[in-house]
Structure 1
């Protein structure tokens, strides 16, 4: 995968330059992700200092739970990312993988809230599968800075 990546929303109002991209793709089957995207959210993790954005004025953020906020383009509605919001979180971007201009080298490695996945779909390949209880326990046990 290239050291640098670019991406954008559907209308191009929000353009992204990514300098630190993890090639692992995570799929989330929770209710919020399903409602936001219609299926599930497939994300790549980008640290805060690994993302530069043009068009920030078009980004709208919605506090979707007690612990996370989701951002989208206010012009075309494209889902951009979600971030944890609890104090002490690193606030990494869980960037929607479909925004990237080049998806070469990405690999689906993890599915979370797997116990909430509808029967209508299943992904090929071997992934780590975590239930809602397992991911919430991991998150609760994470050290806060």
Structure 2
């Protein structure tokens, strides 16, 4: 089954073969990148997603990742880590059928805002709870102002 999505103005469109690891991320980088209280994202291996119209512009949001967006309408479209085997993530809200990507996990609990009641029955963790993730992120420098 194919899953499609894109930006508000339709300039950027994509198609994904699979939807994996649907999650909400409460980290400050995701909050700033989406302008929201958290980012809702779903991923696929890079070879299982393709841009079917104009590809998105990208912002190198940190020393480890790039954020995709539409330059024309401003829609945040997702992110990917700068690693060959990393997944490409898209914003769940940019899917044509966001109901196909129920959130299964939450990340970035260290930055979750105390007034946000969201997916309280969905497991969550702090970014530094996983030693491998902590090691990967230890030398990251943010390019967001």
Q: TM-score range by the shorter chain?
A: 0.7 to 0.9
1:15-54 maps to which residues of 2 (within 5 A)? 15-22=13-20, 24-38=21-35, 39-54=37-52
1:138 aligns with 2:132: yes
Aligned residues: 135
**Aligned with residue 71 of structure 2, among 71, 74, 78:** 74
Q: CA offset at residue 53 of structure 1?
A: 1.0
Aligned counterparts, 1:5-20, within 5 A: 5-20=3-18
Equivalent pair of 2:65/2:82 in contact (CA under 8 Å): yes
Higher fraction of strand: 1
Aligned to 1:104, the other structure's residue is in SS state: helix
State the TM-score, normalizing by the size of structure 1.
Answer: 0.83
Report if aligned partners of 2:79, 2:88 keep a CA contact under 8 Å in 1: yes
Ranges in structure 1 where 5+ consecutive residues have no aligned partner:
none
Segments of structure 2 that go 5 or more residues without pairing to the other structure are 137-145
Cα contact 1:21–1:50 (8 A) shared by 2: no
